[in-house]
Amino acid sequence: MTASPATLDRRQVEQMVRQVLRDRLGGASPTYHRAPTDNGGPNPLVVNVSARHVHVRPEDLEVLFGPGAKLTKLKDLYQDGEFATEQTVNIIGPRNRMIPNVRILGPARDYTQVELSYTDGVFLGIDLPLRISGNHEGTPGCILVGSHGALNLQRGVVRAERHVHMSPADLAHFNVADGDIMKLKIDGPCGLVFERVKVREHPKVKLEVHIDTDEGNACHLPSATSMQLIK
């Protein structure tokens, strides 16, 4: 007996395309590679890769997920009070290309911001400015799609400037001030030195450097043998 050719309807094809995009582009909660080392200070130095993610203000959350929507915690992040949520959005750029299932991080903020890597920007067709979180002057926008609706974000899409969170005790140890620039030396098989790591002060923060996915891949952070902040 000869088998008849299989057919796929449009819905099945769309499901397959979405799954391929998920597999190739990710979209899980932010991936953190923790590699503490003894820096002689009051707190261990931790360097983490901050994957693509979104911050939202409450009114935009309701547009995306419906009236009364609240962020639902999926897991805690390294900094106290910060968490990955169960909510994800699809990001659509000017080339009509999409990155699906990008995680929203909580808690809610007073602005909506999309943080992507340089590679993400190339894929979407967005010329990403390098910015510290919250600085949206002259930044591009995108379309965010949630389970309830879509948001035409006019600005707030950035590539996060690499930075280090420090408490007052950490500032004193490294002899730096908020806004200063440091270097991060990564030792290991793919070791390198990151220039222009901006210091960000907060009275109740853990000592932590944030780099993006491209930077974490460049130094292969999981294989790092030691890290050092240099003034």
Handedness of CA 140, 145, 151, 156 (dihedral sign): negative
Check: CB of residue 30 under 8 Å from CB of residue 77. Answer: yes
Give the residue from 153, 116, 156 showing the smallest Cα distance to 135: 156
Compute the average pLDDT of residues 49-68.
Answer: 97
Torsion, CA 206, CA 208, CA 210, CA 216, rounded to 10 = -140
The model's pLDDT over 78-129, given as tens digits with 9 standing for 90+, comes to 999 999 999 999 999 999 999 999 999 999 999 999 999 999 999 999 999 9
Domain regions of the chain by residue span: 36-44+162-230, 51-160
CATH 1.10.3470 holds for 36-44+162-230: no
Examine the pLDDT at 2 and tell me if it is beyond 50.
no
Least reliable range by pLDDT among 2-11, 33-42, 48-57: 2-11
* Prediction pTM value: 0.83
The model's pLDDT over 171-228, given as tens digits with 9 standing for 90+, comes to 999 999 999 999 999 999 999 999 999 999 999 999 999 999 999 999 999 999 989 9
CA diameter of the chain: 81
Check: CB of residue 173 under 8 Å from CB of residue 42. Answer: yes
The DSSP bridge pattern shows strands 83-92 and 73-76 to be antiparallel
pLDDT of residue 24: 47
DSSP-assigned letter for residue 29: S
- 15: confidence class by pLDDT, cuts 50, 70, 90: low
